[in-house]
Amino acid sequence: MEPEQLIARVQELTGRLEDLDDPACRALAEELTAAVVQMYGAGLERIVELADSATRDEMAKDDLVAGLLMIHDLYPVPIEERVMQALDTVRPYMESHGGNVELLGIEDGVAKLRLEGSCKSCRASSSTLELAVRQALETAAPDLEGMDVEGIVEEAEEPEVTGIPLPIVQVNGTPGWHTLSIDAPEALVATDVDGVPLVVANVDGTLLAYRNRCADCGGTLDGGALQGGALGCPGCGRSYFLPQAGRSMDDDHLQLEPVPLLREQEAIKVAL
């Protein structure tokens, strides 16, 4: 059985256990489950103690094993360090919107964060920026109990936007991270997620993702020239500055639609 199937099976059985009508039977089953978990936890702790550092690092890279290590507080990287690493991966996206994120501390398993900056004249709302941070933390530190965010306040009025409207598309109905089947580009590359066209640009070593559609003519962008962070539309010639959320360099009311992007080792992920 695949790891995902095992997890789903455990969740199913846990739900059925909670639905038992007999309190004594339910209590006995819960006690047995807890004892089994403790037994396997003790065995896993012994394995971690006997393994060398290289083996422990490899264990931590395996999703299933890493989850078990976190359950038993055996993960080799402290949670605060993992949170900081997660924030570092999402920071280029935050900075592309003139913002940033700061870890204020972790109390009782809850990460206290401050989002800095403003979303004025930017397609990415504070909720979108918070989503990028939240999903980065869920990937790197699923053992967090929660996230407490303060900071960015939405602008009361949206700036006037001209050109062709860009719809917000949700893949499979819910937003989430999707791994791209591409290597890091040297300049610009086109790709897609379940039929949603994207472009990924390398600007001085930082990867940025956008919907592959010009905000002016509606044409694709992947044939355009990328120079110094400025991307020219091959169709209409309009130029967009990618490090500043894809704002038009010719008209302040035009802007591309940015997509949150994370890099995890060799993997490139986007949130849709």
Residue 3: pLDDT band (50, 70, 90) is: low
Per-residue pLDDT at 154: 47
| pLDDT higher than threshold 60 for residue 122 | no
Residue 152: pLDDT band (50, 70, 90) is: low
Q: Where are the alpha helices (DSSP H) in 51-106?
A: 53-61, 63-71, 79-95
Closest listed residue to residue 241, CA positions, set 254, 225, 230, 257: 230
Closest listed residue to residue 143, CA positions, set 90, 86, 58: 86
Judged by average pLDDT, the poorest of 123-127, 148-152, 178-182, 259-263 is: 123-127
What tens digit of pLDDT does each residue of 45-60 get?
A: 898 888 888 888 888 7
| pLDDT higher than threshold 90 for residue 211 | yes
Asked if domains 79-150 and 171-271 share a fold, the reply is no
Q: How many CB atoms lie within 10 A of CB 255?
A: 24
Torsion of CA 28, 32, 35, 40, to 10 degrees: -160
Distance CA 239, CA 269 (A): 26
Distance CA 13, CA 29 (A): 11
The mean pLDDT value for 73-80 works out to: 83
What tens digit of pLDDT does each residue of 226-258 get?
A: 998 899 999 999 999 888 778 888 866 788 988
CATH: 3.10.20.30, 3.90.330.10, 3.30.300.130, 3.40.390.10. Which one for 79-150? 3.30.300.130
| pLDDT higher than threshold 80 for residue 113 | yes
Per-residue pLDDT at 168: 35
- Long-range CB pairs of 29-38 (<8 Å, 24+ gap) are 37/71
Domain map (residue ranges) of the chain: 79-150, 171-271
Judged by average pLDDT, the poorest of 21-25, 147-151, 174-178, 239-243 is: 174-178
Residue 200: pLDDT band (50, 70, 90) is: very high
Distance CA 190, CA 170 (A): 19
- 265 or 234, higher pLDDT: 234
Domain 171-271 CATH class label: mainly beta
Q: How many CB atoms lie within 10 A of CB 162?
A: 11
Residue 156: pLDDT band (50, 70, 90) is: very low
Per-residue pLDDT at 260: 81
| pLDDT higher than threshold 90 for residue 121 | no
